[in-house]
Amino acid sequence: MNKVVITGMGAVTPLGGGVEKFFENAAKGVCGIDKITSFDTSGSKVTLAAEVKDFNAEDYIDKKEARRMDRFCHFAMAAAEEAIGGSGLDLGSVNLDRCGVIVGSGIGGMLTYETEHIKYMEKGANRVSAFFIPMMIGNMASGFLSIKYGFRGANFSVVTACASGAHAIGEAFRQIKHGYLDMAIAGGTEAAITPFACAGFANMTALSTASDPNSASLPFDKRRNGFVMGEGAGVLVLESESHALKRGAKIYAEIAGYGATGDAYHITSPDPEGDGACRAMKQAMEEAGVLPHQVDYINAHGTGTPLNDKFETLAIKNALGEYAYKTSISSTKSMTGHLLGAAGAIEAIISVMAINKNIIPPTINYLEPDEELDLDYTVNKAKKKQVDVALSNSLGFGGHNAALLFRRV
């Protein structure tokens, strides 16, 4: 079995583009949530989101090519450029047949779908773009990245709702660990802050309807009443350790464990016993050979919905036992909002950066404790702490659970 390491990372987020800026703002407790600017929210139940600001796709992609991609692909291309650039990879010196791309998206090209449907309804079938299908389907981020970098190994997309990015990283980890690939680009991307998508989430009462950005995303707070939509992408370069060392790459951390489970319970609600999430964490720890007392930090799924935070807290207690009370936990969704299929990827980056910087980013906006939620949620202010082992949890509608374990090298 190969040891798998991370040699590059790239991020496009509501807290800024670039991994260093993203983590610096997360450590400062910067809130990326604000009034929605991408569409008119008049008549909408939801007026807040965590949008990516000051992003120009043409900084990363040829203008003509950019017009033939949805925004979710723009984000993936930008994040991958940073990740590949930071990895120091020389494309001419690696076996491209053993380099893969696994990038997930929970929803795919929702903006394209809405735009083209309006054209269809108002102007007829002949006005629908010939590029509608390849712009809309969720696998195209992986496809475009494979084409750009010439990676000819395993190339696919994972769709497990809000666990997509984490599962994509986990599946790439397995491909490398078991020897099918030498390296892979892995992560998640999402751009679903659109009128149609927001209406759908709002009407199922999943979203916060707050008007104050500092009272909207409230993980683990008793006042929590729904999540806030976010957008962006996170991409990591994973390699076998021997491959990375051979080319003299900088290693940020080892990915040492991956858990993937199903709740088999409900289409939107987590298992009320937290069983699926608990088993995912246990699987990741067992694969890594890590005991509960060795887990220094958990980046929680922590959506700020009444059920998720309650059941995830229970899952952490069941997975770590008495050590759950000694482990630092935070939900960075309090700052970034919920990036859906990209959430697990940017939170994996947060976890790796916590190891590199020895900083636990905070759960901001926390004012009112919930007596049922009594763990250390690192509230309102970052904490300096030696982090050798970090877990990142991602849970998706349909009962999809993923846990990734990262370890200092």
Catalytic site positions:
162, 301, 338
Exposed/middle/buried for residue 322 (C-beta within 10 Å: 0-12, 13-18, 19+): exposed
Rg for the chain (alpha carbons), in Å?
20
Query: Which of 302, 319, 318 has the alpha carbon at shortest distance from 370?
Result: 302
Using alpha carbons, select from 190, 182, 157 the residue that is nearest to residue 171.
Answer: 157
What is the distance between the alpha carbons of residues 358 and 387, in angstroms, rounded to a whole number? 5
Query: In angstroms, rounded to a whole number, what is the distance separating the alpha carbons of residues 269 and 301?
Result: 14
Q: Give 267-271's long-range contacts (Cβ < 8 A, gap of 24+).
A: 267/397, 267/398, 267/399, 268/204, 268/206, 268/397, 269/307, 270/307, 270/308, 270/311, 270/312, 270/395, 270/399, 271/311, 271/399
- 113/179 Cα distance (integer angstroms): 38
Contacts of 233 (CB under 8 A, 6+ apart): 10, 11, 12, 72, 75, 76, 78, 79, 141, 187, 188, 189, 190, 342, 345, 346
Q: Return the residue matching tokens 């995830």.
A: 312
